[in-house]
Structure 1
Amino acid sequence: MILRVVIALAFCAPHTHTARILIIVPTPAYSHQLIFRPIIEELTKNHQVTFITTNPAYPKGDTPRNLTEIDAGPISYSLWNQEVSITKFGKDNFIYDGVNVIFEVMPKIFAEQLRLADVEKLIRNAQFDLLILEAWFRPILIWSYLYKVPVLQISSMGTSPGNPDTMGLPDHWTYHPSLFHQKIYDLTTSERISEMLRYLHVQSVFDANEAKEDEILKGIFNDAPPLRSLRRNVDAMLLNLNPLWDNNRPLPQNVHYIGNINRNPAKELPRDLQAYLDSSDTGVIYMSFGTNVPPSKLPRQLTQMFASVFRELPYKVLWKWDLDVVEGMPENVKTGRWFPQADVFRHPNVKLVITQAGLQTSEEAIECGLPLIGIPFLADQWLNVDNYVHHGMGVYLNAETVTAEEFKAAIVEVIENDKYRSSVLRFRGLVSDVRLSPAQRVAWWTERLLRPGGATHMRAPAADMRLLDYLNHELLLLVICCCVCVSSLIAWTAVLILKSLLKGFGIKI
């Protein structure tokens, strides 16, 4: 049922049977690519799919029937690694420095992808009936100019700058922000100011880059129209979130949530890993910072601090690393380049997940009832951790400032205090319901409202707010006071200057 919108758009094409679908995900990040795989698997049952990706799922020449993959990975990752420094990740000012870099490098990567021989051949010769485009990246809309067909955008995360304007979504920097924010719950006045400044900065960078993106595209397609006009070509959008994770943002009928789309059936663990997990009497901690934050690139004092704390704990630790051999690891720590994460989480001995708060890891941990410690490094990860804390499922640690004492205390607190696991199980219960047919949906809502607690957790926050609160009256009053003070100071200064001038001319006042 999750793919209903995708299938419906596919059948909106002129063909009554097999449709030709082009899917494009330009971001060189495995997590962005991964959520499109179940969609492709479903669509290739009845349609011909071409997928431009930086992470092909199959070896060249070994793709399934009805699927063609175009590998844009080598050039994309090469440019990304040249221009994006991990040293900017994890810092509170990432929203300022990191966002600038990402918005600047991605149009360059996209331009090189368009110049690939296979892509140029596709543009010259191929015809399609439907476009499925990654949602966060604005220049990708040029494909809607090349092919005059229905367009579905899918976000691998939440809403990005530009998405609210494209789809008419509510856009509010504290209640319904884009993914480039750090906190939306229980804000102090100073935090409201910080989030407002982040919002204004991200929006200004996004707006300022539009002219550069137009110029890059005109360098490839001489008659390319302005990107601002192309957003009208988007027919629908899917967001890889659950409504609760997005603060129950009100959505129009052509925007839908598809949270936890990448749920996979359980598989057996490799024997050595199964034995390792089985052998723990006290429990196992799983730690991973995803594919975009390799531990070998983190400050050495940070990884050494993690290792020293693990050495003091009675638990075994699985730690995902990007090296085959990691020196100085305690005996209770097992490192590896890759673990079957979701299946590890299902093992009853796993007690805690320490993560950079990537969306997929968060969803998998919640699905398996595991509490979390979030140490965010980039993009939407701060907001994900804010959800951990708000819903009582885990705690937040700052990668820049965390100490060994804080790290150890957080681990002990989250493992030994049952409230975190209970909160995870409660949250899992709230988000596990699935959409049904209209008649079944009526029955579902009836049953839902008969349950203890009703459906109050689904209410949009603004529905219960005073207008003054929604408009951030504290900030408005602060701005008004500042304006009055500045105006008064200017007026007072002007009076003094005028008096001085008149006195100089011998005029008494």
Structure 2
Amino acid sequence: MARVSLVILALVCFAFVPSRVQSAKILVVFPFTGPSQYLLVQPYLKTLAARGHEITSVSVFPQKTPIKNFRDITLKIEEADHDEIVIAAIEEMSRGKMQQLNLVKEYVLPATLSVLTNEEFQQLLRGNEHFDLIIVEVFCQEALYALGSHFKAPMIGISTFGADVVNDQLVDNVSPVSYVSAPSGQYLDCVDFWQRLDNLYINTVEWLYDLFVILPAQQRLYETYFPNVTLDLSEVRRDFSLLLLNQHYSYSWPRPLVPNAIEIAGMHVEHIPKKLPADMEAFINASPKGAIYFSLGSNVKSAYLPKEKIKAIMDAFASLPVNVLWKFEKTDLPGKPKNVFINKWFPQQDILAHPKVKLFITHGGMHSTIEVVHHGKPIVGMPVFYDQHLNIQHILKKGFGVAVNFKNFTSGELRDAILEVLNNPKYAESAREISARFHDRPMKPLDAAIYWTEYVLRHKGAPQLRVAARHLNFLQRNSVDTMAVLFGIPILLVILIGCILYKLFKAIYRNANNTKTNLKKRKNE
């Protein structure tokens, strides 16, 4: 009986494993220097390689140990340059929208150039190597989207931030600004008039900046490094077969998506936690009331925060009845409280999976948000910039966390926020409920990403997934031309009839006046 049960279980599991396709050669381009972006795709790429596909990965993060079917082309970017951009972003977060968008440009252009000027990558462009599929990170780097037409291969985009007004254009998706907030916005459903107005403003500014600043800069790179490509950049950037989005409606909101825009949030999360290092395990277990984990992610480094912020954090932690693990990028922290354990790096997913870790203090980055939802832990949010504010707003609305203002919090405010979440069971209950929704899917996110990737390979670009909007210009897509005919012709007819009637009545009136005048003349005679 047990043997029969095992056979049935094996058949059920096999039914959910995506069917294999013939081995393909895949070029993957992920140029950004933020480690979290590459961490998202690393399990996905390793799984593709394990399934027999030959991966050529262009990134800043080569594999530490060789992997079968995996070739790295390593980009050389100074970490100090990346840190300067992040520090500048923190300083600019309280300024205007244009300053924030200028930082995006300063982040994107060097990343695009790092790929196009890499000699090993240039050899790929000049050589005769064939690729069956191109996978590229999509974030305002349109010059790289020419790789699909250059290698005559279908192209898949991966957005680590999810959908937005710019990425939507790649697969002709629709994001109604009346209820779908921009990732860099501050509001959720945007049902209030002023919220909808603010969302319209943000989306419009971002769209115009992309149109008049980002795209012209990328156009120049496109013309320089792809001189033989005949397609216009506007056609190239809308030539994606598939868009994988790092988002999921269970913790954000339901929104319209075209068939080739697939939500894959959670595909990077390990489902079987590893054993923690002995010193971390001992520190967590030494705290009878549980422990807390604090990290500002891989981009914002705690060690580089202003001294007054570090002191406020230390004072708050020192007053807590629990131990705290703090991702701190230096080996020494003067005045560190006894209940604080610092380290340059923590196995975050394994920490969050630990049953005695009761709370995550986070900046609200997309990957940290997904991981905490996966493991069902409540949070205290400290958003810093871009999508982090909206991610924390989602968490507040779902009821499994509270927030403090990163710009001007006090040690007392941070301590009170932590104790509120630790001592009130409603936050942990809500976290478990949202986590259950997140896991309730017909297929695990990594399996879904693999399935749809191989679907594109099986169906030679899967044109059946793509909506016809890619063949239409702006006026046609938004039915401006048809509405002009539908409403314009009746209006013109009304105007024309009005003009005719006006002239007719004017003529009748004039004739009537002439008749009266003639009668008066005759009477006077």
In the superposition, the TM-score normalised over structure 1's length comes to 0.78
Distance in 2, Cα, partners of 1:259 & 1:87 = 25
SS in 2 for 1:128: coil
Contact map agreement 2:376 2:434 (CA 8 A) in 1 = no
Moved more, 169-178 or 281-290: 169-178
Corresponding position: 1:69 with 2:75: no
Distance in 2, Cα, partners of 1:368 & 1:313 = 23
Corresponding position: 1:195 with 2:199: yes
1:174–1:226 Cα change, 3 Å: same
Q: Kindly provide the amino acid, as one letter, of the partner of residue 221 in structure 1.
A: F
Corresponding position: 1:182 with 2:186: yes
Match of 1:430 among 437, 440, 445: 437
How many Å apart are 1:174 and its aligned residue? 5.1
Distance in 1, Cα, partners of 2:203 & 2:42 = 32
Match of 1:398 among 388, 394, 405: 405
How many Å apart are 1:181 and its aligned residue? 1.9
After superposition, residues 255-274 of structure 1 pair within 5 angstroms as 255-264=261-270, 265-274=272-281
Corresponding position: 1:347 with 2:351: no
Specify every segment of 5 or more residues in structure 1 that has no aligned partner in the other structure, as ranges: 12-16, 438-509
Distance in 2, Cα, partners of 1:32 & 1:398 = 25
2:175 alignment counterpart: 171
SS in 2 for 1:259: coil
2:35 alignment counterpart: 30
1:478 alignment counterpart: none
Distance in 1, Cα, partners of 2:404 & 2:178 = 21
Distance in 2, Cα, partners of 1:96 & 1:298 = 24
Distance in 2, Cα, partners of 1:32 & 1:332 = 32
1:273–1:108 Cα change, 3 Å: closer
How many Å apart are 1:396 and its aligned residue? 2.0
Q: Kindly provide the amino acid, as one letter, of the partner of residue 408 in structure 1.
A: R
Distance in 2, Cα, partners of 1:229 & 1:186 = 32
Contact map agreement 2:182 2:199 (CA 8 A) in 1 = no
How many Å apart are 1:182 and its aligned residue? 2.4
1:274–1:81 Cα change, 3 Å: closer
1:66-91 alpha-carbon deviations (Å, 9 max, x no partner): 1001111x326454345553453583
Distance in 2, Cα, partners of 1:340 & 1:135 = 27
2:294 alignment counterpart: 287
Q: Kindly provide the amino acid, as one letter, of the partner of residue 420 in structure 1.
A: Y
Distance in 2, Cα, partners of 1:409 & 1:146 = 57
Contact map agreement 1:22 1:49 (CA 8 A) in 2 = yes
1:338 alignment counterpart: 345
Specify every segment of 5 or more residues in structure 2 that has no aligned partner in the other structure, as ranges: 1-11, 445-525
1:310-365 alpha-carbon deviations (Å, 9 max, x no partner): 11111111110111111121111111001111111222221110001112222222
1:187–1:86 Cα change, 3 Å: farther
2:392 alignment counterpart: 385
1:156 alignment counterpart: 160
1:398–1:200 Cα change, 3 Å: farther
1:359-416 alpha-carbon deviations (Å, 9 max, x no partner): 2222222222210111111222111101101110111222113222321221111111
1:280–1:332 Cα change, 3 Å: same
How many Å apart are 1:135 and its aligned residue? 2.2
Match of 1:252 among 250, 258, 268: 258
Q: Kindly provide the amino acid, as one letter, of the partner of residue 105 in structure 2.
A: F
Match of 1:329 among 336, 353, 370: 336
Distance in 2, Cα, partners of 1:433 & 1:157 = 22
Structure number, greater radius of gyration? 2
% identical aligned pairs: 26
Match of 1:304 among 293, 298, 311: 311
1:365–1:245 Cα change, 3 Å: closer
1:80–1:164 Cα change, 3 Å: same
1:22–1:210 Cα change, 3 Å: same
In the superposition, the TM-score normalised over structure 2's length comes to 0.76
Distance in 2, Cα, partners of 1:297 & 1:345 = 24
Moved more, 80-89 or 162-171: 80-89
Distance in 2, Cα, partners of 1:266 & 1:132 = 28
1:336–1:413 Cα change, 3 Å: same
1:232 alignment counterpart: 238
Distance in 2, Cα, partners of 1:86 & 1:290 = 16
How many Å apart are 1:109 and its aligned residue? 2.5
1:222-266 alpha-carbon deviations (Å, 9 max, x no partner): 345442111232111111211234411121211111111112121
Contact map agreement 2:181 2:190 (CA 8 A) in 1 = no
1:183–1:278 Cα change, 3 Å: same
Contact map agreement 1:295 1:321 (CA 8 A) in 2 = yes
Pairs aligned (count): 425
2:99 alignment counterpart: 97
1:367–1:83 Cα change, 3 Å: closer
How many Å apart are 1:420 and its aligned residue? 0.8
Distance in 1, Cα, partners of 2:141 & 2:275 = 41
After superposition, residues 459-474 of structure 1 pair within 5 angstroms as none
1:245–1:349 Cα change, 3 Å: closer
Distance in 2, Cα, partners of 1:269 & 1:215 = 49
Q: Kindly provide the amino acid, as one letter, of the partner of residue 55 in structure 2.
A: V
How many Å apart are 1:292 and its aligned residue? 0.4
Contact map agreement 1:130 1:151 (CA 8 A) in 2 = yes
1:284–1:436 Cα change, 3 Å: closer
